[in-house]
Amino acid sequence: MKITVGDLLDRTATNYPDTEALVYADRDLRYTYAQFREKCNIVAKGLLRLGIKKGDHVAIWATNIPEWVILQFATGKIGAILVTVNTSYKAHELEYILKQSDATTLFLIDRFRDCDYIETINMVIPELKDSEPGRLSCSKIPYLKNVLYMGEGRPDGMFNFSVLEDLGKDVTDEELAIVQSSCDPNETINMQYTSGTTGFPKGVMLTHFNIVNNAYNVGACMDLKEGQERMCIPVPFFHCFGCVLSTLNCVCYAVTMIPIVTFNPKEVLEAVSKAQCTILVGVPTMFIMELNHPDFAKYDVSSLRTGIMAGAPCPLEVMKQVMDKMNMTEITIAYGQTEASPVITQTRTKDPVKLRVETVGRALPDVDVKIVDTETGAEVPRSVQGELCTRGYLVMKGYYKMEDATANTIDAEGWLHTGDLATMDEAGYCKITGRIKNMIIRGGENIFPREIEEFYYTHDKVKDVQVFGVPDVKYGEQVACAIITAEGQELTEGELREYSMDRIARHKIPKYFFFLEEYPMTASGKVQKFKLREWAIKEQDLKDAANVRTA
């Protein structure tokens, strides 16, 4: 499907003008598709008058508020590249992304959990408070000129989001249409940051063509009925799960979006019940919390039919409970990664239950998948383990300003190497069996040990550090950290936790700290993290978590 994000919204709003597009029960907000398009057009005009041009990078640091969805499609209309920022990020991570992405504009809210966003941005950019809105000058982050606040009031140096409506009043429909028509489906429209083996987050450049087609095909696998469905969205928008599999998926099929601002199992159950949602998406941890909520039986979830469980390995028993207790008899499992826009394989609603609880499905339409030998690169026979590779419309344009990293991920024939170990049966259904890359998946969050290791190396009492994953019943995995203390120094877990606060995202702070004198090593001197993991499982008695079966 050769269409831009902006044109897709226009097409859906034209075909289904009176269908509800966006509903927030917590603030009595309801937009039909015609109203939603008009709201996006107004904001798009405001962005143009603010000076944002096609190809400019616009960062957003916020929870699932209405402005997030509006900005997603407003930037889509003018070809500005939306840079999504993890809501859990702290000063160190925010500074890196603003600098590396060359963002010209940042949209933010006041806070999320224990992080004060206003305080954090002023810590990163001390010049902001004394700047005139729109005229920020920061040598450390030279491209950033505008900071817009989404909330009540106007912090020093920032515009309020509402200024966009005023700025756009003198921009005509014709002016917007000219910019929108200049957008090409093969141009980058979204940039998501994912960590890598180097320890530094990489900006994944995704095009209109990448994400529109991925969203459409994911919806086809769920057998979505145009203009008839309602989707509850508790997953964060800053992930592809939120802004591709959810919001963009909805616009493809004129589905009503019912977002949850920040995940809360009770709010999810209330939204499903009140809005009679037919679709629910989430990572396994979310479904577990919903199923185990003490008031679960009080809510009517009989309207549910389908949805997506993805982001982390799904325990088989959880999948069965979701189908039995939540009426989601047509739920699907999806597997992928940000670099693949993000879904590579997915089960189908009519698949036998066994396939939907024991595999991650087969390739999406128009997507190639193969399993290759990790040493030779040759394709292996069916049912033999190897690295899962994919090729097709879904493969990212590349990593922003990281040509070498891109070349190491996408080979000369266009195959994206996922770094995940898998097997494929005769019918093309895949099972994920492990990871080549040393990645930890905690409750749907991808965490890369090298990034955390490099952070702790900055502590003057740390001589060496090794970070690895250990099994966890609730989150799938937790972060563990083995420290060798510098000679003559004493270091405690409390000191390390205090050192971590406000410096790295909370989900990256290890749950377990171990203080060792040496690490298990290979003959060639490489640390054997698998042995650290085995030791930690015994040390913390995590055998039950390690034995949880997943697809």
Secondary structure of 181-235 as H, E, C letters: HCCCCCCEEEEEEECCCCCCCEEEEEEHHHHHHHHHHHHHHCCCCCCCCEEEECC
> Residue 513, Cβ neighbours under 10 Å: how many?
20
Predicted TM-score of the model (pTM): 0.87
Band of pLDDT at residue 155, cut at 50, 70 and 90:
very high
Q: pLDDT for 387-428, tens place per residue?
A: 999 999 999 999 999 999 999 999 999 999 999 989 999 999
Cα 366–Cα 371–Cα 315 angle in degrees, nearest 5: 90
Q: Average pLDDT of 144-153?
A: 97
Residue 197: pLDDT band with limits 50, 70, 90: very low
**pLDDT value at 437 more than 80:** no
How many angstroms separate the CA atoms of 217 and 367, rounded?
10
**Sheet containing strand 476-485, strands side by side:** 462-472, 476-485, 512-515
What is the tens place of the pLDDT at every residue in 502-533?
899 999 999 999 999 999 975 556 688 889 99
pLDDT of residue 311: 83
- What the block records as the tokens of 210 is 């990448």
Say which CATH architecture domain 444-546 belongs to.
2-Layer Sandwich (3.30)
Question: Cα(37)–Cα(41) distance, rounded to whole angstroms?
Answer: 6
For residue 155, cis peptide bond before it (omega within 30 degrees of 0)? no
Average pLDDT, the chain: 94
Domain ranges of the chain: 444-546
Contact 72, 243 (CB under 8 A): yes
Q: Which residue has the higher pLDDT, 458 or 17?
A: 17
Name the more confident of 527 and 14: 14
Does the pLDDT at position 196 exceed 50? Answer: no
Work out the average pLDDT over 41-62.
98
Q: Which residues contact 412 (CB under 8 A, 6 or more apart)?
A: none
